[in-house]
Amino acid sequence: MLLLVFLIYWCVVHNQVQASFADFSKNACTELYYYPIKAFSRHCYVTLNGDTPVPDIIQRSGYKLERYVVTTSDGYVLTLFRIPPEEGDNRKNKQPIFLQHGIASDSAIWVTTGSLGFILADEGYDVWLGNHRGTPNSQEHTKYKSSDPEYWNFNLDDSSANDLKASLNEVARVTGKKGSIIYVGHSRGSTIAFMFASQFPNDTKELLQGIVALSPIVYLELPSHWKLLLPAAPLIGVIFKSQFFSYQRSDFQETFKYLGITSIFYHDKIIHLFLKHFCSLMPYICKYSSSMTFGQSNNFLPDNLLTAYSNFPRPISVAEVTQYVQIYNSGNFQKFDYGKEANLRKYQQEKPPLYDLSQINVPVVLLYGKHDTLLSTEKVDKFYKQLTVSKKSMESVPIGDSNEENAYNHVDFIQGKDIKKIFYNDLLNILQSDKLTSKK
């Protein structure tokens, strides 16, 4: 009762309550402390970018939309969204740009919080949005349903080798711009791009003009509080395996298999519903959890709080998370480790093969944030030095800003405040610079 009285007093004194009736559809506020009273506050408003499907967001925003469906060689059915340029608009020669989202997200990140897809379309580019297998727009399979455990039996190697080949070939087929596609990937989107480019250099050269990696995850870093959790999963896996399992597999994945879990965040709609209600009441806790996960940042935009949690997290495969843990533990950019016996059968060697980064033969631009908890300058520099391609560059974001307080974290690339002025304008310059050109 006292809390209610205080809340009413605070609202009246600070003049935060508007005279009109409550609007419970409001889902964005200019400051975090308005969220608990967002239905009544004049500092909160309605944005359609929350629960709205990606195609509807694109069309409601006044852009044309095209859908393309591709089937990978291992049976996964993926949906690609395209924002085509106007027929008479030749400002950028209708150059295709393929945007690939990161882990636990989908193509919504390019048309909601940061709207890079719209910014590129406004510049005259032919914009393509990829959707990783397992995400809501790409959950079909020629044999399995997404509710089948077998559906989720894929790792990063499978995604890179199959999803990208099918998707990029479709972009090349439709646009007729084979060899001119610029690939922009965030987080996992960059991981699978470098796996693909390492393993299929000829296909990469034929399809892409260059790769722009936002928060490039090759050599993974983890915050200290995450590192404390890592020993627990393998330990549990060893106990379970010794009692219940007869074949070799990653201990991390073995644990989840015993528990009957093959995917994470599968019931994402229920998770989003909970997060939106919880974050409306406890916005500072949600902001703090984001900082603990992705890194401290001064670029957080309060307006994006509920929109971000309307599209994150999306379903992911346990095997993908397992492979990231393996990459971190080994310190190698490598294929999935099935265990010695299984590795011998699959790879003809006891340890998983490394991805040969020297095989990447298209220009590469690495853009990272110094406050990113999932990588560090040292990790990015290690990768950069292993690239042998003649055109390569590495920049921390904001570019040219030495003020440590302004440094980007992992998700500022897709939802930071003033993102167009602080980052996307520089990105547009990079797309037009000689950093992404090479002699063929």
Instruction: Residue 382: give its domain's CATH number.
Output: 3.40.50.1820
Q: How many domains does the chain have?
A: 2
What's the CA dihedral at 150, 152, 156, 162 to 10 degrees? 70
Q: Which of 308, 341, 366 is a domain's end point?
A: 308
Tokens (6 digits) for 257: 């298999």
Give the Cα separation of 396 and 384 in Å (integer).
Answer: 13
pLDDT of residue 28: 94
pLDDT of residue 240: 35
pLDDT of residue 247: 34
Helices (H), 129-221: 156-158, 164-175, 188-199, 201-207
Q: Residue 352's CB: how many other CB atoms inside 10 A?
A: 22
What is the DSSP secondary structure assignment for residue 104, as one 8-state letter? T
Give the Cα separation of 17 and 13 in Å (integer).
Answer: 10
Domain shared by 285 and 260, yes or no: no
The pTM of this model reads: 0.89
Domain span at residue 405? 54-265+313-436
Domain shared by 259 and 270, yes or no: no
Contact 339, 246 (CB under 8 A): no
One-letter amino acid of 202: N
Domain shared by 357 and 321, yes or no: yes
Tens of pLDDT along the chain (440 residues) come to 544 444 554 454 455 555 445 788 899 999 999 999 999 999 999 987 767 899 999 999 999 999 999 999 999 999 999 999 988 888 888 899 999 999 989 999 999 987 999 999 999 999 999 999 999 999 999 999 999 999 999 999 999 999 999 999 999 999 999 999 999 999 999 999 999 999 999 999 999 999 999 999 999 988 776 666 655 554 444 433 333 333 334 454 455 454 556 778 878 888 988 999 999 999 999 999 999 889 998 999 999 999 988 888 999 999 999 999 999 999 999 999 999 999 999 999 999 999 999 999 999 999 999 999 999 999 999 999 999 999 999 999 999 998 999 999 999 999 989 999 999 999 999 999 999 986 44
Domain shared by 92 and 203, yes or no: yes
Domain shared by 361 and 415, yes or no: yes
Domain shared by 244 and 136, yes or no: yes
Domain shared by 347 and 395, yes or no: yes
Domain shared by 92 and 129, yes or no: yes
Domain shared by 171 and 239, yes or no: yes
Q: Residue 275's CB: how many other CB atoms inside 10 A?
A: 20
Domain shared by 175 and 61, yes or no: yes
Domain shared by 368 and 274, yes or no: no
Q: Which of 275, 308, 341 is a domain's end point?
A: 308
Q: Which of 281, 308, 335 is a domain's end point?
A: 308
Cis-peptide into 398, omega within 30 deg: yes
Q: Residue 245's CB: how many other CB atoms inside 10 A?
A: 15
pLDDT of residue 231: 57
Give the Cα separation of 257 and 172 in Å (integer).
Answer: 39
